[in-house]
A and B are shown apart, each in its own frame.
Chain A
Amino acid sequence: EAGVTQSPTHLIKTRGQQATLRCSPISGHTSVYWYQQALGLGLQFLLWYDEGEERNRGNFPPRFSGRQFPNYSSELNVNALELEDSALYLCASRIRAYNSPLHFGNGTRLTVT
Chain B
Amino acid sequence: EDKVVQSPLSLVVHEGDTVTLNCSYEVTNFRSLLWYKQEKKAPTFLFMLTSSGIEKKSGRLSSILDKKELSSILNITATQTGDSAIYLCAVDSNYQLIWGAGTKLIIKP
Contacts and interface: CB of A to CB of B under 8 A. Distances in A.
A3 to B, nearest CB: 9
B45 A103 contact: yes
Contacts of B50: 99
Contact of A107 (B31, B41, B96): B41
Given A42-B102, A98-B32, A99-B32, A104 B44 contact: yes
A71 B12 CA distance: 44
Interface in B18-68: 31-32, 34, 41-45, 48, 50
Sort chain B's interface into a size bin.
Answer: 20 to 34
B72 to A, nearest CB: 15
Contacts of A104: 42-44
B32 A43 contact: no
Interface string A11-52: 000000000000000000000010000000011010010000
Contact of A43 (B41, B48, B88, B92): B88
B99 A55 contact: no
A101 B48 CA distance: 7
Contacts of A97: 95
Given A99-B50, A101-B45, A101-B48, A42 B99 contact: yes
Contact of B95 (A42, A98, A100, A103): A98
Main secondary structure of the interface of A (DSSP, over half): loop
Interface residues of A, number: 20
Contact of B101 (A42, A45, A99, A100): A42
A101 B34 CA distance: 7
A90 interface: yes
Nearest to A105: B42
B97 interface: yes
B97 to A, nearest CB: 7
A101 B31 CA distance: 12
Interface of B: 31-32, 34, 41-45, 48, 50, 88, 90, 92, 95-97, 99-102
